[in-house]
Every structure is written in structure tokens, then in C-alpha cells.
Amino acid sequence: MKRIDLDDLPPKLAQLLTGLEEGEEVLLVQNGGVAGRLVGGAPPKPEVADEEPSDEKAAEIFEHFRAAMEDDF
């Protein structure tokens, strides 16, 4: 998959690309001929943050950390 960093584009072009609705197309023209076509997709779904670890899991992680620190020193 090719990737375009919107921060590298002029602001007007970046705004045009981010404002595309799902299924809306942008025609890329070069020297009067069609060079390509971009189609807007659905916005990415927000990532769900992992749940907070339980007290049992937190205690286990702390115990591993403590054991590693004792081994090093």
C-alpha cells in the first residue's frame, strides 16, 4: 500500500483529501490526462483502549519487576 503523509502536502490539498466522504472520488489530472483516481473510504474506527489491569494482574507485574530488580542489583 502506498502512503501519503498529509503533513507534507499543501494545506488546501490536505484539507481536500481529509474532507472526502465515503465513496467520493478525486480525479488526478496531469498534462490534461487522467493520471489516477482516489476514492474516499470510511473513517477509521477509534481504537478502544485496553482495560485497566486487575489488581491480581498488577500484583503479578509488580512481582516480576521486583524480582528483575533484585536480580540486577
What pLDDT, on the 0 to 100 scale, is given for residue 53? 67
- Hey, where are the domains in the chain? 1-41
Q: Is 14 exposed, middle or buried (0-12, 13-18, 19+ CB in 10 A)?
A: middle
- Whether this prediction's pTM lies above 0.75 is answered by no
pLDDT value at 9 more than 90: yes
Across the range 48-53, mean pLDDT stands at 69
